[in-house]
Chains A and B, each alone.
Chain A
Amino acid sequence: MHQATSATAPRLELRNVSKRFPGVLANDSIDLSVAPGEIHALLGENGAGKSTLVKIIYGVLHADEGEVLWEGAPVGIADPHAARNLGIGMVFQHFSLFEAMTVLENIALGIEKAPDMKALAERVVEVSHAYGLPLDPDREVHTLSVGERQRIEIVRCLLQNPCLLIMDEPTSVLTPQEVERLFETLRQLSAEGVSILYISHKLEEIRALCDRATILRGGKVVGSCDPARETAKSMASMMIGAAMRELPTRTGRISDKTRLEVQGLNLDAGHALGVSLKDVTFSVRQGEIFGIAGVAGNGQGELFQALTGERTVHVAQEVLIDGIAAGRMGAAGRRRLGMCSIPEERHGHAAVPEMSLAENFLLSGYRRMKLLAGGFVQAHAMAELAQRVVRDFNVKATGIAATASSLSGGNLQKFIVGREILQNPGILIVSQPTWGLDAGAAAAIHEALLTLAGNGTAIVVISQDLDELLTLSDHLAVINLGRLSKSMVTVDASIDEIGLLMGGLHGMTEHQPEQTEGGVHVA
């Protein structure tokens, strides 16, 4: 499904491409070339400039300087329409979909010269079957799973017979089984001569799939390699620029004392695009890290809200904090009982972007740290504590008067984690603690969480990054469609089973939903 091309010219070549954002040189004289039929990895940490570079190729952003060559000839790609007319398709990391519109409308919007809707619907069904990506054109997007949404993006690209397919972190939202299925589709396309530019920071995936890899660090190309001939470790050190930091070994023991007990927790979705929680049960002991795995959009947000008290549940007994029924308490009440939390979204949820670090300390810290006198804020004490977080957690900032928005993601997250840890929580609920961070900051945060657990805090980590949970947690469970699986001991858990649980019914067609729990290896 591609045009014949000359054997000599690369399909895509970048020469000396640079792109600057205020305060940051995102791409610095990048050279890159992709051959016809090649699966080419673009490897790098968060913030290395991968997404910026592919957005330039797809015409969403424009390079400040440098050249783009297509089939050997220089081209200017003014916008995504121009890119698509050349034969470039792109699957975005954060999908470019419209929730309240149908699959068919979403596809029609993303292709040039759409035929009439009826003919298009037929083509969608046809193409989606040819590549093992079944889709119902009339469904509205908000009713679909994350994996199905990705299919829309892929089918949308395939309908235009692309010569180059760009995939930005496509597996971060998929179960291990869905990843395998995606790889088969990509290999099939490659065999048909389609070039694929595959962006990821997952090394094993790249080794399994890609013919060649270009490694970016700090906006520059720092090397390229044949992934099959490298080890994950050697690629990681190129990507990070230093040897991986080893995590400290766990100190302290998990005691028998249960700090948090969740018993048959139910919560309605709250809004049309939400997920209801059904009968969620688990418990966390003093000094234990409890991991909750799952594909995005399976109720993680609702579970975080129900645990922290951002939304209350109807039955107080459904959440017990140190034996006290707290289900009907709001966030303030639960904080008083010693439960602190770290939401996934740093800007606007865990912190107020336009406010200073000192005020952001006040945000969640004033109750436990007693920063009020008769309703008035004790400014000195507030500044001192914020200063302590900055110092103790090695936060790079111009001072505590700096706004949260002026910090890099890693430094802001260090501040947020430090703010909660300084409050000496008995229980800590954390969602996606290292999402979007570079390896250095992620390691620092993992270390802080392990130390906190070593000191006796019961920690719940909700994460879509399975590797993170396998590294951190003592026990873990999987959330799917608002139901939580039975918990398993992390060291004994099998990746296949976790993957099947993450996929829910999709991966377990032979089982009834009730039986999924029974099918799991329980220690």
Chain B
Amino acid sequence: MSLRIEERRELNLRMFYLTPLLAVVLTVVAGFLMFLSMGYDPFLGIYHFFVSPLLTVYGLAELGLKAAPLIMIAVGLAIGFRANVWNIGAEGQLTIGAVAGGGLALALIDVEAFWVLPLISIAGILGGMAWAAIPAFLKARWDVNEILTSLMLTYVATLTLSALVFGPWKDPMGFNFPQSEMLSESATLPLVLEGTRLHAGVVVALLIAAAGWVVMTRTIIGFQIRVVGQAPAAAAFAGFSRKRLIWLSLLTSGGLAGLAGLFEVAGPIGQLIPSISPGYGFTAIIVAFLGRLHPIGIIGAGLIMALSYIGGENAQVEAGMPQAVTGVFQGMLLFFLLASDFLARYRLRFDSGGNAADLRKEAPAE
């Protein structure tokens, strides 16, 4: 008897959508073992990490608060990943979106008007787009690897923000802390749940996911993106412009990351500080994969990854675990997901030395 691996002739769709759940289960099991090896009570660790944050209204609101940027960014990234455009610099686009929108909000700090929030949101989107336009231009024009350029630009973006809040944008009344003034009321996102930090951005995130779903499944643009990613030569045959799709996917993902960044500044943070994101731009990459690059899947995946942030904070407070556990969980989750993908693409078969007579029966009639 031997094990053999056979390629499925068609992707097993049920497996394809079930394996993310399998990956989550495997991650929890691995987490259990990790807690055990670190000398923590594993049951308590799992409880603090994955369960107790969900038991309070405040915890649930925090979940939505952290899921919103992840979902917004991941919907945009997923479009690019489907087109084989690997924007991994969403963290940088988020930062520049925050700089552009936040900077405008600082300039308008004395203005009280309903249009301030929409205006700075647009500025955030444009900021993210502008930052993503650099890798888009380089890739469309000279085929420069967008993975490396978008990532390098993330460092540049972080340093830009740092230079601003340590320098010209530093709050003169801020006791020399590297932070800007607080944004005005008009430049702050309204809350959707009083007594929590959950703001209107979560509604926007859901709308974006819905829009992403319609675009990807119902429109010719979504179709073109899927074709160019799966079979670039077929896209050329059909007359789809690869360059246009590069621009489109990078500008979309950059714009959404920029908006997510502005929402952090106009929402929970309320001002510009040197670090406005706990790595949402990178975590959104995992969210996109875990959600199977599908906007609806991304909502679920966004909530799971948001839980890993809150769980990490909770476990730190309750059990004194290091914050870094969050990163380990996120990495493991993506590992297990990629590994379990194998089950959707291949079939494992146990042969008991079957004979050709059996084989013949299975042979197709033609």
| A and B in contact, CB less than 8 Å | yes
Residues on A facing B (Cβ under 8 Å): 18, 20, 22-25, 28-29, 64-65, 219, 308-310, 330-333, 335, 341, 343, 345, 348-355, 359, 362-364, 366-367, 372, 375-377, 396, 403, 405-406, 408
Known interface pairs A24-B363, A28-B356, A353-B231. Does A359 touch B223 (Cβ–Cβ under 8 Å)? yes
Q: From A353, which residue of chain B is reached at the shortest CB distance?
A: B231
A375 touches B359 (CB 8 A): no
User: Which of B5-13, B65-73, B187-195 forms contacts with chain A?
Assistant: B5-13
What is the CA–CA distance of A92 and B129 in the complex, to the nearest angstrom? 50
Known: A25-B360, A345-B233. A65 touches B355 (CB 8 A): yes
Residues of A within 8 A of B83 (CB): none
Given contacts A22-B6, A348-B233, A363-B227, contact A335 B356 (CB under 8 A): no
Given A24-B364, A363-B238, check contact A377 B356 (CB 8 Å): no
Q: Chain A contacts of B360 at CB under 8 A?
A: 25, 28
B222-244 to A contact mask, C-beta < 8 Å, 1/0: 01001100110110111101000
Q: List 29 A-B contacts (CB under 8 A).
A: A18-B359, A20-B359, A20-B362, A22-B8, A23-B363, A65-B356, A308-B237, A309-B239, A310-B236, A331-B236, A331-B238, A333-B239, A341-B237, A343-B237, A348-B231, A348-B233, A349-B237, A351-B231, A352-B227, A352-B230, A353-B230, A353-B231, A355-B227, A364-B238, A372-B220, A376-B218, A377-B220, A403-B10, A405-B9
Give the shortest distance, in Å, between A214 (CB) and chain B (any CB).
Answer: 19
Interface hits, B1-57 → A, CB 8 Å: 6-11
Tell whether B221 is near chain A: CB-to-CB under 8 Å.
yes
- Chain B positions within 8 Å of A331 at CB level: 236-239
Distance in Å: Cβ of A49 to nearest Cβ of chain B: 11
Proximity string of chain B (94-126) to chain A, C-beta cutoff 8 Å, 1 when within and 0 when not: 000000000000000000000000000000000
State how many angstroms separate the Cβ of B12 from the closest Cβ of chain A. 12
> Known contacts A331-B236, A352-B230, A377-B223: does B218 contact A25 (CB below 8 Å)?
no
Interface status of B219 (Cβ within 8 A of chain A)? yes
Bound-state CA distance A210–B7 (Å) is: 38
Residues on B lying within 8 angstroms of A by beta carbon are 6-11, 218-221, 223, 226-227, 230-231, 233-234, 236-239, 241, 347, 355-356, 359-360, 362-364, 366
Which residue of chain B has the shortest Cβ distance to A336 in the bound complex?
A: B239
The answer on a CB contact under 8 Å between A29 and B237 is: no
3 A-B pairs with least C-beta separation:
A332-B239, A331-B239, A25-B363
Is the Cβ of A335 less than 8 Å from the Cβ of B239?
yes
The smallest beta-carbon distance between A408 and chain B, in angstroms, is 8
> Whose C-beta in chain A lies nearest to the C-beta of B360?
A25
Do B366 and A396 touch across chains, with their CB atoms under 8 A apart? yes
Known interface pairs A333-B239, A335-B239, A350-B237; 9 further A-B residue pairs with C-beta atoms within 8 A, sorted by A's residue number? A22-B9, A25-B360, A65-B355, A65-B356, A330-B239, A351-B231, A355-B230, A375-B219, A408-B366
Contact A376 B239, beta carbon cutoff 8 Å: no
In the complex, A405→B231 CA distance in Å?
A: 12
Contact in complex: A349, B231 (CB < 8 Å): yes
For A349, list chain B residues within 8 Å (CB): 231, 233-234, 237
Give the chain B neighbours of A24 by CB distance below 8 A: 363-364
Residue pair B234, A354 in contact (C-beta under 8 Å): no
Q: In the complex the two chains form, is A375's CB within 8 Å of B221's CB?
A: yes
Q: Which residues of A contact B364 (CB under 8 A)?
A: 23-24
B residues near A64, Cβ cutoff 8 Å = 356, 359
Least CB separation from A343: chain B residue: B237
A364 touches B220 (CB 8 A): no
